[in-house]
Amino acid sequence: MESTDAVINLIHLADAPGTSGHSVSVRVLGRFQPGILTGHDFLDCEIVIVAESVNATFPVTLLPEDLEDWEGALAALRSGRSAMWLESGRTPSMKFKPDEGGGLWVSVYDGPASGVTVTVPLFALSSAWVDEQRDLLTRVRGVYPREVVETSPGAYEWRRDTRS
C-alpha cells in the first residue's frame, strides 16, 4: 500500500487572480486511519474558505461513497443545476448554486459542530471549472485508490491486487 504526505485538492474553486480573491477548497490531508482495515479508505480532509473578512476551515472525514456523490453533484452542476454535497448530517454540508451570470455561490453549513453557515460568491471562475473539478476528483482517486472491500455486511477485507 502506498500513502502520500502531500496535501491535494479534491475541490478548488477560486475567482481569477486579480479579482475578489474568494476561494473554496476541499483539501485531502491523507487517509483517516491508514493500514486499519475499517478506516483505511476514509479520507481526512478539510473544507477551506477564503474571502475578504473570512478565513474558515472545517474538518471532514470523507467516505468512498462521498466521492461518488461528488461525481453526481458535478453532473448536476455541468447541466447548470444547483447541487448539494455531504448531506448525511455527520459532516459540514456544501451547496453549490450557479447564477445567471456564470458565477457560483458556495455555502458551507457546519451543522454537526458550530451551526455556522458561510456563503461565498465566486464570479470570475474559469469557463472550464466543472472539468477542472472532475480532474481533481480523478487525481484524488488515483492517489487514494479504494483498497478495502466489504465482502458481506460488516465484513471487510483488503482488495486483492489483480496486477501481475
Query: What pLDDT sits at residue 53?
Result: 86
Query: What pLDDT sits at residue 16?
Result: 85
Query: What pLDDT sits at residue 5?
Result: 61
pTM for the predicted model, two decimal places? 0.91
Nearest Cα neighbor of 82 from 68, 65, 66, 94 is: 94
Query: What pLDDT sits at residue 8?
Result: 98
pLDDT in tens, the chain (164 residues): 344 568 999 999 999 888 888 999 999 999 999 999 999 999 999 999 999 889 999 999 999 999 999 999 999 999 999 999 999 999 999 999 999 888 999 999 999 999 999 999 999 899 899 999 999 999 999 999 999 999 999 999 999 865 44
Contact 129, 123 (CB under 8 A): no
The DSSP bridge pattern shows strands 55-62 and 43-50 to be antiparallel
DSSP label of 24:
E
pLDDT in tens, 92-108: 999 999 998 889 999 99
